[in-house]
Amino acid sequence: MDQLWDGARHAFGIGTPPDSYNAIQICLRATVVYLGGLLILRVGENRFLGKFTAFDLILGFVLGSILSRAINGSSPMGATLIGSALLVGLHFALARTSFHWPGFGQVVKGDSELLVRDGQILWEGLRRKSLSQKDLEEALRLHAHEDDLAKIREARFERNGTISVLPRKAEPRVIEVSVREGVQTVRIEIG
């Protein structure tokens, strides 16, 4: 058993200075940290890998930073994985609390900002989000394929940093078609 433990210690570079790790030791450490991090995220059911709020994104940055320390040996691997699990658990607890108490969720995750209502720019919303009219126009073209503000019902700066756009519903066009004299006129609504 001691021989097995000594082999594992050597394979992972445990007890040796980090600057003397060879490529195989770093690859083995990276594999263990990757699998451990993946297990922690799967158990924690984290959603930060998608495009979500700063609340979710910060977990990704911090986990990356912490887990890299286990790979390069500047922190012990076990303690780093335990610390990472704690952060994922804290993130999960804050997300659950946000779900049950929307006011807390606004503090932690932020809130959306209305930028356009019924074709009118809400300049105060643009100012609060530090957006120019050009930024807004670009979002309208990208997301609604529209550059005419009159055709926009609502545009919001969302918590994840994107601008969502809801177009106005088009008024139906009425076309009257007369087939021939003496036949009733047909009225068609296109909308």
Amino acid sitting at position 85: A
Calpha distance 47→131 (Å, rounded): 27
Q: Report the DSSP beta bridge partners of residue 187.
A: 176
Calpha distance 36→63 (Å, rounded): 12
Q: What's the confidence (pLDDT) of residue 76?
A: 87
Q: What's the confidence (pLDDT) of residue 174?
A: 72
Q: What's the confidence (pLDDT) of residue 100?
A: 94
Q: What b/e string do you get for 107-117 counting C-beta neighbours within 10 Å, with b at 16 or more?
A: eebbeebebbe
Structural domains of the chain, ranges and CATH numbers in brackets? 2-106 (no CATH), 112-191 (3.30.240.20)
Q: What's the confidence (pLDDT) of residue 182?
A: 66
Per-residue DSSP letter, 154:
E
Q: What's the confidence (pLDDT) of residue 123?
A: 95
Does pTM top 0.85 for this prediction?
Answer: no
Q: Which two tokens stand for residue 72?
A: 């390069």
Q: What's the confidence (pLDDT) of residue 101?
A: 92
Calpha distance 144→38 (Å, rounded): 37
Enumerate residue ranges in the chain where pLDDT < 50.
none
Q: What's the confidence (pLDDT) of residue 47?
A: 55
